Amino acid sequence: MGFLQDHVISRREMVIGGAGAAAVIALTGLPVTALGQGASRGKFQMVKSDEEWRHELTSEQYAVLRRHQTERPGTSPLNKEHRPGTYVCAGCGLPLFSASTKFESGTGWPSFWAPLDGAIATSEDRSFLLFVRTEVHCARCGGHLGHVFNDGPQPTGLRYCMNGIALNFRPENAWPAGADANNKTGH
């Protein structure tokens, strides 16, 4: 039998491991409250004050887009959305993903194998204990969307695992070609 089969992690080992991870985090010099908070760092085309974001977004959208929180899996109505269309940033309306790239990943979050060109940016995320993940955020407003993993389907092999609360769905032909969700007419 291998190590994973022979070794069952005890509660004591779990507590010691958690305390060790907390010590490593504390030694980085960052306050624990700084981890996973604040919008993605960088320069973005759309910049608003924290107060403006709080006013414009629901509390759930604000928690995810601006404070990097994660919605519970299986709670987004977008998991059951299968019409042709475009998924846009709930913060600024930038088109992010075509519905044609959406797939069922079994994770409980809307997943895509490719974003629209120039729609997203990525950064290193070290907020999940000692693991390094790749954060995905809106290229226009910097809002946190989710993470990308290399276990997706072809042709890219990528899985963009997005928080549904950070997205809005616009059915095909919902606005004129070339317009984004903030500039469409008749809405």
Which sequence positions are flagged as catalytic? 161
Residue 39 makes CB contacts below 8 A (sequence gap 6+) with 53, 65, 66, 68, 137, 141, 142, 143, 144
* CA 180 – CA 116 distance, rounded (Å): 13
Tokens of 117: 């060109």
Q: What are the DSSP calls for 21-81, one per residue? A: HHHHHHHTT--GGGTT-SSPPS--S----HHHHHHHS-HHHHHHHTT---PPTT--GGGG-
* CA 131 – CA 125 distance, rounded (Å): 8
Give CA separation, 135 vs 7, 69, 99, 127, 169, in Å: 32, 12, 21, 10, 21
* CA 145 – CA 19 distance, rounded (Å): 29
